[in-house]
Amino acid sequence: MLRLRCKARSGSYPLPGLTAHSRLRELQAAIATLTGVPVKAQRLLLGFPPLGLDLSDEERRLGELGIHSGDTLIVEEDAAKPKTESPIVTKRTVPNSVREALPVLARKVVPADNSCLFTSIYYVVEGGVYDPGCAPEMRNLIAQIVASDPESYSEAVLGKTNQEYCEWIRREDTWGGAIEVSILSKFYQCEICVVDTQTVRIDRFGEDAGYAKRVLLIYDGIHYDPLERKIPNSDIPPQTIFSASDDIVLAQALELADEARRKRQFTDVNRFTLRCMVCQKGLTGQVEAREHAKETGHTNFGEV
Q: How far apart are CA 280 and CA 297, in angstroms?
A: 14
Has residue 105 got a pLDDT over 50?
yes
For position 236, what pLDDT does the model report? 80
> Which CATH code is given to the segment(s) 105-262?
3.90.70.80
- Cα first-last separation, the chain: 47
For position 10, what pLDDT does the model report? 79
Given 6, 68, 71, 116, which residue is catalytic? Answer: 116
Top pLDDT among 134 and 16 is at 134
Which residue, 86, 67, 84, 80, is CA-closest to 27? 67
Q: Which amino acid is at 71?
A: D
For position 19, what pLDDT does the model report? 85
Residue 31 and residue 73 in contact, taking contact as beta carbons nearer than 8 Å:
yes
pLDDT tens string 110-143: 988 889 999 999 999 999 989 989 999 999 999 9
Has residue 266 got a pLDDT over 90?
no
Of the pLDDT bands very low, low, confident and very high (cuts 50, 70, 90), residue 28 is very high
Has residue 181 got a pLDDT over 90?
yes
Q: How far apart are CA 206 and CA 193, in angstroms?
A: 9
Q: How far apart are CA 109 and CA 226, in angstroms?
A: 7
Q: Helix %, strand %, coil % for the chain, to 5? A: 35, 20, 45
Has residue 272 got a pLDDT over 80?
no
Evaluate the omega torsion of the peptide bond into residue 49 and state whether it is cis, within 30 degrees of 0: yes
Q: What is the arithmetic mean of pLDDT over 5-14?
A: 83
Which residue, 192, 116, 176, is CA-closest to 141? 176
For position 87, what pLDDT does the model report? 38
Top pLDDT among 50 and 106 is at 106
Q: How far apart are CA 26 and CA 19, in angstroms?
A: 10
pTM of the model as a whole: 0.59
| CATH fold label, 4-98 | Ubiquitin-like (UB roll) (3.10.20)
pLDDT tens string 203-257: 999 999 999 999 999 998 888 999 998 887 777 888 999 988 888 888 888 888 8
Q: Where are the alpha helices (DSSP H) in the chain?
A: 24-35, 96-99, 116-125, 135-147, 155-158, 162-169, 178-188, 247-262, 285-296
Given 54, 78, 203, 298, which residue is catalytic? Answer: 298
Lowest mean pLDDT among 5-19, 68-82, 239-253, 261-275: 261-275
Given 68, 71, 134, 223, which residue is catalytic? Answer: 223
Fold equal for 4-98 and 105-262: no
Given 113, 131, 247, 258, which residue is catalytic? Answer: 113
Which residue, 192, 215, 198, 193, is CA-closest to 257? 198
Residue 223 designated active-site:
yes
Residue 113 designated active-site:
yes
**Sequence ranges of the domains in the chain:** 4-98, 105-262, 273-303
Of the pLDDT bands very low, low, confident and very high (cuts 50, 70, 90), residue 282 is confident
For position 233, what pLDDT does the model report? 78
For position 88, what pLDDT does the model report? 37
Q: What is the arithmetic mean of pLDDT over 62-78?
A: 88
